[in-house]
Structure 1
Amino acid sequence: MKTEPVLHFFCGKMASGKTTLSRELASDHNAILISEDIWLSKLYPEEISTFEDYLKYSSRLKPFVLRHVQDILAQGISVVLDFPGNVPSQRQWFRSIIEAANVNHVLHYIVASDSLCKEQLRKRNAEQPEGSMIMSETDFDYITSYFQTPTADEGFNIIGYEPNQMGLLT
């Protein structure tokens, strides 16, 4: 029995657990995982050193990813996009993919405190997983100042998650 493809995407503060959840979902749903951090680190290894650089190169990447994701979804394969949907304009990009591909979707929203995110950020900085950049708590505070919780009137199918004391999502 063939299932319809689903586009999975994320909203959550920096270091809230989006990448960890994206890997789990890709495995659980036999989906293609596309990680913005990894693509950017491979395509622009020396160019991104500030948040403004990230915005510039992310905007260059998105048109190519959009078409690629549409093609994958058209083949009946689900996609997990590990790209942030932390402000309405970012979520609108996901909306454009959903509408063009005419597929179901899930916005996975991770609700995490600043203190937990900063703790996980320190851990990520120490471990430096593929695609990650060293980010300070000042960077976290600056970037998080732009964060906007998704609302029901945006029309997304939202599943919420809250990390427990060990950082695991429930």
Structure 2
Amino acid sequence: MPILHLICGLPGSGKTTLARQLENQGKGLRLSPDEWMSTLGFQLYDEGGRARVEQLQWRLAQRLLAAGNDVILENGFWSREERDSYRAVAQSLGCETRLHYLDVPVEELQRRIIARNRDAPADAAVDPNDLLAWSKMFEPPTTDELAVGHGTAPP
């Protein structure tokens, strides 16, 4: 049964690192909105561009899943509604979904973002001050979302 891996967390939580590890372990094809946006010349904060890239990646992911391939999406999945929607589509395709939640304190996220920004191009930098507002918008997965067969919270 194909597996859809949803990588859930705020910027700086380690989504790309985990997604790359899963891909290197042969757990699926990794689709990264940030990388595609950069390649296509979109600014990281371009919400319209991000929405188009994520929609395109989701259509591609559905085709890959329907063909029997595992897929890793590192969109962040900030809301329960979004996670439920992706799970429902995956289920309709006969796929399993695994939610990987990266729970990192805001102070650590800010430290990581500041360190990452040192090596990032100016148009790819994330403002560490945005993390506090984002953390208030973020809906952490509930216990039932992380139950066996539904998701994991990496150590």
Q: TM-score, normalised by structure 2?
A: 0.84
1: CA distance, partners of 2:55 / 2:128: 31
Provide structure 2 residue ranges, at least 5 long, that are not aligned to the other structure.
none
What's 2:97 paired with? 105
Is 1:35–1:83's contact at 8 Å kept on the other side of the alignment? yes
Is 1:134 aligned to residue 125 of structure 2?
yes
How far 1:149 sits from its partner (Å)? 0.8
**What is residue 116 of structure 1 aligned with on the other side?**
108
User: 1:37-80: per-residue Cα shift (whole Å, max 9, x none)?
Assistant: 1112223x24x364xx32x2222233322221111112221111
Match of 1:32 in 2: 29
Q: Is the 8 Å Cα contact of residues 70 and 100 (structure 1) preserved in structure 2?
A: no
**Kept after mapping to 1: 8 A contact 2:19/2:30:** yes
Aligned partners of 2:28 and 2:71 also within 8 Å? yes
Q: Which runs of 5+ in 1 are unaligned?
A: 162-169
Could you say if the C-alpha distance between residues 63 and 5 of structure 1 is closer, same or farther in structure 2, counting changes exceeding 3 Å?
Answer: same
- Is 1:85 paired with 2:85? no
Q: Distance in 2 between matches of 1:38 and 1:11?
A: 17
- Alignment length, in residue pairs? 152
Distance 1:62 1:96 in 2: 17
Which residue in the other structure is 1:8 paired with? 5
In structure 2, do the counterparts of structure 1 residues 49 and 21 end up closer, same or farther at CA, with 3 Å as the change threshold? closer
**1:19 and 1:90 mapped to 2: Cα distance?**
19
Aligned equivalent of 1:71, options 63, 66, 77: 63
RMSD: 2.3
Report % sequence identity.
27
- Normalised to the residue count of structure 1, the TM-score between the two structures is 0.78
Report if aligned partners of 1:14, 1:144 keep a CA contact under 8 Å in 2: no
The Cα of 1:7 is off from its aligned counterpart by 0.7
